[in-house]
Amino acid sequence: MAEVANNTPPIVPGQIQAAEEKAVSPWKEAWKSFKKNKLAIVGFSIVVFFILLAIFAPLLAPHDIAKQELANKHIPPSAEHWFGTDEFGRDILSRIIYGARISLWVGFLSVAGSVIVGSFLGIIAGYYGKWIDAIISRIFDIILAFPSILLAIAVVSVLGPSLRNALIAIAIINVPTFGRLLRSRVLSVKEEEYVTAAKAIGMKDSRILIHHILPNSLAPIIVQGTLAIATAIIECAALGFLGMGAQPPTPEWGKMLADSRAFIIEAPWTVLFPGLAIMLTVLGFNLMGDGLRDALDPRMKN
């Protein structure tokens, strides 16, 4: 019997290795691209530094943040008080370390709330469209019609000045940002063939949204969320500066700036170091967010 010709080309080990390299997870590929961005790594390092500062604040703070020593007020930076003391003789370095907890807590929680509510509304509006889309979009337009800080002040004025109410206000003003982002993403993703196929086999809308549309919309959420944390920290500091956020004796950076503005000539270090803490934290999140955008956006890749 004649042998059947086998036209299948032989498998070369080098080709297998090359195929495995090409089949790298998109998230691993994004991480490799992120690590190549030096500015993004700098931002990531700054963010990690402040997160560790917040976690280990009780161990790192050299002095009691609430202890007042009026005899030691406005002491300039020294070996005992690296960042000096404020008008009540409290150690500024210790208060900045504990202030990292407050700013990061407000930033992460407010953005998490905005992501959850905004993503839900954006997905519903983009997927179902029609009158549902019209109502939700108009709500977003109304919120965006007000300057963000003025809307936050209005919300806190109604709820009452406190750190918790400031967090709620910051979450509310950021909801339309994520809602519009998810809506535009859903409008494009829902026209893909795999979504059409899922509808054709009778898959429920909830499963399509959770298992198909949402996973393919995570990249822009991550990027926008990182940048939104920086904005939330600034807004928290602004509300604290205006006396509508954290209340005394809470060591919040914006409140520290407000309490020290009268002593900017007499004791400039009381304003300098809280301001630097805000600037570095926001800079870290912005640099990291730009790096994530470059790593996760296919249009930014060669």
Kindly report the pTM of this predicted structure. 0.83
Kindly state the tokens that stand for 98: 């504990």
Q: Is residue 269 one of the residues assigned to a domain?
A: yes
Give just the sign of the alpha carbon dihedral 117, 250, 154, 264.
negative
CATH of the domain at 207: 1.10.3720.10
**CA–CA separation, 256 and 260 (whole Å):** 6
Token pair 């700036």 is at which residue? 257
Predicted local confidence at residue 289, as pLDDT: 87
Predicted local confidence at residue 262, as pLDDT: 84
Q: Which residues pair with 91 in a beta bridge?
A: 85
| Tens-digit pLDDT string for the chain (302 aa) | 444 445 555 545 555 444 444 445 666 777 777 778 888 899 999 999 999 999 998 998 888 888 888 888 888 888 888 998 888 889 899 999 999 999 999 999 999 999 999 989 988 888 887 888 899 999 999 998 888 888 999 999 898 888 899 999 999 999 999 998 888 888 887 777 777 777 777 777 777 777 777 777 788 888 888 899 999 999 999 998 888 888 888 888 988 888 888 888 888 888 999 999 999 999 999 999 888 887 776 555 55
Q: Is residue 206 one of the residues assigned to a domain?
A: yes
Number of domains in the chain: 1
| Dihedral of the alpha carbons of 33, 34, 39, 41, in degrees to the nearest 10 | -130
Q: Is residue 202 one of the residues assigned to a domain?
A: yes
Q: Mention every residue, 6+ apart, whose C-beta is less than 8 A from residue 169.
A: 151, 152, 153, 155, 156, 159, 239
Supply angle C-alpha 84, 167, 160, rounded to 5. Answer: 95
Q: Is residue 263 one of the residues assigned to a domain?
A: yes
Q: Is residue 69 one of the residues assigned to a domain?
A: no
Q: Mention every residue, 6+ apart, whose C-beta is less than 8 A from residue 286.
A: 43, 227, 230
Domain range for residue 51? 36-58+84-300
Q: Is residue 65 one of the residues assigned to a domain?
A: no
Q: Is residue 219 one of the residues assigned to a domain?
A: yes
**CA–CA separation, 52 and 171 (whole Å):** 24
DSSP 85: B
Supply angle C-alpha 152, 44, 63, rounded to 5. Answer: 75
Q: Is residue 173 one of the residues assigned to a domain?
A: yes
Kindly state the tokens that stand for 97: 């370390």
